A and B are shown apart, each in its own frame.
Chain A
Amino acid sequence: MAPRKNKTLTQNLDWIAVLIYILCVLIGWFNIYAAVYSPEVPTDIFDLSHRAGVQMMWIGTTVLLIICILVVDYKFYDTFAYVIYGLFVLLLIAVLFAGSEINGSRSWIKVGAFSIQPAEFAKLATSLALAKYLSDPAVSLTRSWKDYVPIAGIICLPALLILLSNETGSMLVFASFAVMLYREGMPGIIPAVGMVMAILIVLTLLVLKWFIALGILVVAGLVIWLMPKGTRKNGGTTATVVVAGLMIAVVFGMDFFINNVLQKHQRSRIMVLVDPYSDPRGAGWNVIQSKIAIGSGRLAGKGFLEGTQTKFDFVPEQSTDFIFCTVGEEHGFIGSAVVVCLFVGLIMRLVVLAERQRTRFARVYGYCVAGIIFFHFMINIGMTIGLMPVIGIPLPFFSYGGSSLWSFSILLFIFLKMDSQRPYTLSRT
């Protein structure tokens, strides 16, 4: 009845996305080599004693993984979504008790010589579980508030477990599901409020809280003054005053939160956004280094392996979280812009692909993938250029590390597999 499926593994694969993916991984690999390269001890890019060589191995294993994903029937993910989710939740619990500690976070499982971070894979499992739940036609985000409860549960359970293992960065990534939820009907006010809050937080850091309060009051006054009379009479004034009051409360609350609740190292990570020299040897270090590296790159950069700031391992995360500095320094504005374009292109492509899915499961999953990659991209590049606080999350496909590369590749290719099977599925929204 239905056309034959799976003639070849790569049939119907979206080559645009695959091409961008391959470019990202290769550029990332070269930049890892550049980041760990030291002119005194030149090593080969294939040298397994150093990170570029190890990354090559990870890339190799990733290719095998991708083949496995393409072999497995797409229905597998639909069918086993909850099982996979449950498995990773268990792993996250296990890691709390039996994990090995690396860099202060107890979130690694040692498999032979390699360490694997279940938190990286939890995003994938959560995406599948959310897609599975939302694929139920009875579930609606526009009509019933009750449906939000299980969704919140699915997201918060792994997020909390990750927080417990001290991986704040990975936990924050779970906020990226907002993109998908918004697309699936969550009221726009929720992300809007979130963004306003974020802006207010940054403002609180930059400007005296009294000025912000004054600004909010002025804006509120203008809003009331410009408001059509009918709206004003219909409780518009009250609403505006309440909103303004809430915003001022948020500003003061934030101020209190930053100064009194946050731990010192967390506070300094936020404070360096404003002035990296407030802690030049701590949190500000990375930011200073990063800005100097990117700033010195200029238009075309210093050239491959010619970077000076990114050598000598100034920043321990040079090849992982701060890989973008290497791009900025050695390939300049052009290189950085190319990387930004690759990401924007990939995310846009994912959105397009998600939109063309016939099943809600695939669309939701597609949006999750797009959201996660988008979030990582924004936070990671944002922190290297001083737009975001230093949150240790990797740049997808670029950063050194097996867990990260594997998880993003699996995340992406499961979706591409679903997409390739699109002609054979029945529309069911």
Chain B
Amino acid sequence: MKKGNTSEKEALMKRAYVVATILVLLAVVVVGRLVWIQRVAVYKGKTWKERAEASTMRMDTTQAMRGNIYASDGSLLATSIPYYYVVFDAKYPDSLFLAHHLDALADSLVSAFGRHTKSGYKSMIEKTRKGGRSTLRLHPRAISYRTRERIKRWPFFRRGDDTLKAANGKILYRKTIAGKFTTEYRRYRPFSPMADRTVGTVNSENGRGRVGLEASFDRQLAGTNGASWVQVLPRGVRLPVSDEFNLHPEPGHDIHTTLDINFQDVAESSLKKALEKYQANFGCVIVMEVATGKIKALSNLTRKGAGQFVDDQNYALAMGADPGSTFKLATMMAVLEETGIDPEKVWVDTGKGRLVYRGLAINDAHRGGFGKLTASQVLEKSSNIGTHLLMQRYFYSKPDKYLAYLEKFRLKNRTGVHMQGEAAPFLRDRDSKLWGKTSLTPMSYGYDMRMAPIQILALYNAVANQGYWVRPMIVEQIRSSSEIVNTYEPYVTPSPICSERTIRLVQGMLEGVVQRGTAPELKASPYRVAGKTGTAQKIVDGKYMARRGLRVSFVGYFPADRPKYSCLVMVDNSIAGGSDLYAGEVAAPVFKQVADRIYAYDLSLHEPAQLAPAGVPAPVKWAGRADEVEVMAKVLNLNTPPEDESDSDGTPADSNRWMQGSTASEGKTKWVARSVEKAQVPDLRGMSLRDALFIMENRGFRVGFKGSGKVVSQSLAPGASIAGAKRIMLGLE
């Protein structure tokens, strides 16, 4: 027994060796496996080491929603619209679920897209499931939000109801949502092609602004893209890395511009007409609010053939070129500032319109010349010779002085408008090697320099604004949803750029241009316009070539007595349009059209006429619809107006019967029926705004008003014919 026990003990002790041996063997297996993985193992043609090199970390970016661009009235100028790609992870769903729902999915695909047949779609999905990649685009094109909402109800896309439970409560499949959508934002401009270049475009590759406001404010619009780390495994399997490294996308800010969509429309259509009519190459129109520098319209058009226009270049800001005669304003201002002469009393003799001064030929456009002109007439008639003579007389001895004035007029630097691409002005420098004895002459009438249209407009705007220069601005506010991120305030120089006298004088001359000078087309306006024509020869191959057509412009402001808007029109004529087209013929009419329509549109420009009440005993206390007047009179305990006969025989009160009450003697109110004729402008005085609006809008009028209370004045006299009139301005008190 004891012996047996001992031998058993010894036998069991030997088991320690068995255990140790197995342990060593397994350790050898482990080590062997390590070697195998590192050196030998080939998985689908690649060693694990190669796989390590192939599987890399990638930064997946999630596009942030780009901000919108708005017009000043809130119209959307540019927005981002999401589009979706329908993606299907064919390896994801449980086989049973796939088997159950593949048919339904294929049916839906056929009816929604119909690119393939039902079996085509099925085999596409099945092939992907078996093949190397796992995800599949079910449709090559991106779909809209509405389509996406529909697809969300398809099997594999919908949530919730697809978990099938067996009788014993066991869930048969879980992985059902194999479909997903990848979002792509596309830029959409609801008013396109209007203001295309001004609003700008976005690079579809990287989503960054390319030109225009999109580029100028790209940083604010872009937002912050989201970023997440993924590891890309062979076969394109992307494994998301833990969430802590990820950045969620932050949508961009919205840009609220100063542009007015109606002004923009006016500017663009007028410019387009002119370009088409004169077969011009290109042109631009800028409309700016005088007091604030807010750009209300900024249109650039390039003519690409008959009736074809594109807004592709920002001429208004970027085209630095000789401004031509519009620059004479600056010369005139400098002369007046320097000398204090009376421009009506200083005469120059421009002769027959041809002058050669020290080898420099100076010509006037007027055939036969202007002869003797006052300084005012020099500007009004736009005489080059006259301008030269003034320059020669007052500044040839002190050219630095003249240049200093230009700097004071803010013509030497960019305006600093918040938009990319403004060309830097170029004025010849005194230190320049090319500065000659006659350099001041071409400069005096706008040659031998480069100025962008916006810079010229800024000068005229300053004149309109009583000498206070205002920086043009196109963006008012940057907002993040409802929160204001940044507000741009108008910049007005603290002191005027020249004396008040000079302003008054040049304002008169600019009105003279229209009244007596080169732009008679603008004379026949219901409001007064002040401005200046400019006709410049173009430089072709370094030479001024008049025969290649002229670049013509008109820049000015209106209404001249109380300037509200300044505007510049520039048209680059082609040879085909005629080489002898001058600014007065081409640019001024565009200006007129723009100004006319803005005038008609902007009711604040209409001043209500202060009419003496004709035939109505004053003071009118109130006027209104007869039935309402009655009620009111009862409530206020006034003597009741005469009963309407129609009321007594039970017929409904005529809603077009109007009454008016006025204070008679002894505090009594005298009631009179007021006639409201269809063909005449009715007397609206004493009425509430509601009634006045009712009457006038029923007659198809656009009604503007100032103040509050009852109507006390109206811009169209009562009793006048309403034929042709479409607008009325009311004063309320």
Contact of B19 among A179, A298, A378 (CB under 8 A): A179
Contact of A297 among B23, B38, B231 (CB under 8 A): B38
Q: Is the CB of A355 within 8 A of B16?
A: yes
- Give A61 to B19 CA distance when docked, in angstroms: 33
Interface string of A164-194 (1 = CB under 8 A from B): 0000000000000001001111001000000
Q: Is the CB of A312 within 8 A of B242?
A: yes
Residues on A with C-beta less than 8 A from B31 are 336-337, 340
Interface string of A69-90 (1 = CB under 8 A from B): 0000000000000000000000
Interface string of A141-158 (1 = CB under 8 A from B): 010000000000000000
Contact of A387 among B15, B30, B43, B229 (CB under 8 A): B30
Within 8 A of A (CB), among B233-250: 233, 235, 237, 239, 241-242, 244-245
Say yes or no: is A258 at the interface (Cβ < 8 Å to chain B).
Answer: no
Residues on B with C-beta less than 8 A from A185 are 8, 12
Say yes or no: is A294 at the interface (Cβ < 8 Å to chain B).
Answer: yes
Closest to A382 in B: B30
Interface string of A245-288 (1 = CB under 8 A from B): 00000000000000000001000000000000100110001001
Say yes or no: is A23 at the interface (Cβ < 8 Å to chain B).
Answer: no
Residues on B with C-beta less than 8 A from A293 are 52
Binds B, one of A200-208, A344-352, A399-407: A344-352
Q: Is the CB of A387 within 8 A of B33?
A: yes
Instruction: State the interface size on chain A (CB cutoff 8 A).
Output: 50
Q: Is the CB of A347 within 8 A of B237?
A: no
Residues on B with C-beta less than 8 A from A313 are 241-242, 244
Distance in angstroms from A364 CB to nearest chain B CB is 12
Q: Is the CB of A314 within 8 A of B241?
A: yes
- Give A183 to B15 CA distance when docked, in angstroms: 6
Closest to A277 in B: B235
Say yes or no: is A365 at the interface (Cβ < 8 Å to chain B).
Answer: no
Given the known interface contacts A312-B245, A351-B16, A351-B19, the answer about A295 and B233 at a Cβ–Cβ threshold of 8 Å is no
Most A CB atoms within 10 A — which of B9, B27, B55? Answer: B27
- Give A277 to B27 CA distance when docked, in angstroms: 27
Closest to B46 in A: A295
Residues on A with C-beta less than 8 A from B341 are none
Residues on B with C-beta less than 8 A from A179 are 19
Within 8 A of A (CB), among B1-60: 8-9, 12-13, 15-16, 18-20, 23-24, 26-27, 29-31, 33-35, 37-38, 41, 43-44, 47-49, 51-53, 55, 57
Q: Is the CB of B231 within 8 A of A184?
A: no
Say yes or no: is B678 at the interface (Cβ < 8 Å to chain A).
Answer: no
Distance in angstroms from A108 CB to nearest chain B CB is 21
- Give A142 to B7 CA distance when docked, in angstroms: 13
- Give A293 to B49 CA distance when docked, in angstroms: 8
Distance in angstroms from B51 CB to nearest chain A CB is 5
Say yes or no: is A429 at the interface (Cβ < 8 Å to chain B).
Answer: yes
Most A CB atoms within 10 A — which of B8, B47, B55? Answer: B55
Q: Is the CB of B33 within 8 A of A385?
A: yes
- Give A340 to B25 CA distance when docked, in angstroms: 12
Residues on A with C-beta less than 8 A from B27 are 340-341, 343-344
Interface string of A304-330 (1 = CB under 8 A from B): 000011001110100000000000100
Interface string of A35-51 (1 = CB under 8 A from B): 00000000000000000
Given the known interface contacts A385-B33, A387-B30, the answer about A281 and B239 at a Cβ–Cβ threshold of 8 Å is yes
Closest to A276 in B: B43
Q: Is the CB of B52 within 8 A of A309?
A: yes
Say yes or no: is A21 at the interface (Cβ < 8 Å to chain B).
Answer: no
Closest to B229 in A: A312
Instruction: State the interface size on chain B (CB cutoff 8 A).
Output: 44
Distance in angstroms from A396 CB to nearest chain B CB is 15
Q: Is the CB of A328 within 8 A of B8?
A: no
Q: Is the CB of A385 within 8 A of B37?
A: yes
Say yes or no: is B304 at the interface (Cβ < 8 Å to chain A).
Answer: no
Q: Is the CB of A285 within 8 A of B239?
A: yes
Say yes or no: is B165 at the interface (Cβ < 8 Å to chain A).
Answer: no
Residues on A with C-beta less than 8 A from B8 are 142, 185
Most A CB atoms within 10 A — which of B24, B41, B52, B241? Answer: B52
Say yes or no: is B174 at the interface (Cβ < 8 Å to chain A).
Answer: yes
Contact of A280 among B12, B19, B233 (CB under 8 A): B233
Say yes or no: is A132 at the interface (Cβ < 8 Å to chain B).
Answer: no
Closest to A180 in B: B19
- Give A283 to B570 CA distance when docked, in angstroms: 70
Dominant SS among interface residues on chain A = helix
Residues on B with C-beta less than 8 A from A292 are 48, 51-52, 55
- Give A421 to B678 CA distance when docked, in angstroms: 123
Q: Is the CB of B41 within 8 A of A333?
A: no
Distance in angstroms from A204 CB to nearest chain B CB is 20
- Give A206 to B30 CA distance when docked, in angstroms: 19
Say yes or no: is A99 at the interface (Cβ < 8 Å to chain B).
Answer: no
Closest to B91 in A: A280
Closest to B52 in A: A296
Q: Is the CB of B20 within 8 A of A348?
A: yes
Q: Is the CB of B26 within 8 A of A378?
A: yes
Q: Is the CB of B57 within 8 A of A312?
A: yes
- Give A280 to B239 CA distance when docked, in angstroms: 9
- Give A298 to B51 CA distance when docked, in angstroms: 13
Most A CB atoms within 10 A — which of B12, B34, B233, B242? Answer: B34
Q: Is the CB of A264 within 8 A of B174?
A: yes
Residues on B with C-beta less than 8 A from A121 are none
Residues on B with C-beta less than 8 A from A344 are 23-24, 27
Residues on A with C-beta less than 8 A from B239 are 280-281, 285, 314
Q: Is the CB of B16 within 8 A of A295?
A: no
Say yes or no: is A291 at the interface (Cβ < 8 Å to chain B).
Answer: yes
- Give A160 to B552 CA distance when docked, in angstroms: 96
Closest to B235 in A: A277
Say yes or no: is A118 at the interface (Cβ < 8 Å to chain B).
Answer: no
Given the known interface contacts A347-B23, A348-B23, the answer about A183 and B16 at a Cβ–Cβ threshold of 8 Å is yes
Q: Is the CB of B51 within 8 A of A295?
A: yes
Q: Is the CB of A336 within 8 A of B34?
A: yes
Residues on A with C-beta less than 8 A from B241 are 312-314
- Give A378 to B18 CA distance when docked, in angstroms: 17
Contact of B13 among A188, A281, A355 (CB under 8 A): A355
Residues on B with C-beta less than 8 A from A386 are 33, 37
Q: Is the CB of A340 within 8 A of B23?
A: no
- Give A314 to B48 CA distance when docked, in angstroms: 17
Distance in angstroms from A11 CB to nearest chain B CB is 26
Q: Is the CB of A337 within 8 A of B34?
A: yes
Say yes or no: is A413 at the interface (Cβ < 8 Å to chain B).
Answer: no
Residues on A with C-beta less than 8 A from B245 are 312
Residues on A with C-beta less than 8 A from B33 are 385-387
Distance in angstroms from A146 CB to nearest chain B CB is 18
Say yes or no: is A381 at the interface (Cβ < 8 Å to chain B).
Answer: yes
- Give A136 to B13 CA distance when docked, in angstroms: 19
Q: Is the CB of B19 within 8 A of A183?
A: yes
Distance in angstroms from A219 CB to nearest chain B CB is 21
Give B residues with C-beta under 8 Å from A: 8-9, 12-13, 15-16, 18-20, 23-24, 26-27, 29-31, 33-35, 37-38, 41, 43-44, 47-49, 51-53, 55, 57, 94, 174, 229, 231, 233, 235, 237, 239, 241-242, 244-245
Give A residues with C-beta under 8 Å from B: 142, 179, 182-185, 188, 264, 277, 280-281, 285, 288, 291-299, 308-309, 312-314, 316, 328, 332-333, 336-337, 340-341, 343-344, 347-348, 351, 354-355, 374, 378, 381-382, 385-387, 429
Q: Which 5 A-B pairs have the closest CB atoms?
A: A295-B48, A296-B52, A313-B242, A344-B27, A292-B52
Could you list 24 examples of A-B contacts with CB < 8 Å? Answer: A182-B19, A183-B12, A183-B19, A188-B15, A291-B48, A291-B51, A294-B37, A294-B38, A294-B48, A298-B49, A309-B52, A313-B241, A313-B242, A313-B244, A314-B239, A332-B38, A333-B34, A336-B34, A351-B19, A374-B23, A378-B30, A385-B30, A385-B33, A386-B33
13 additional contacts (CB under 8 A) given A295-B51, A312-B245: A182-B18, A183-B12, A277-B44, A285-B239, A291-B51, A292-B51, A308-B57, A312-B231, A313-B241, A314-B239, A348-B24, A385-B34, A387-B30
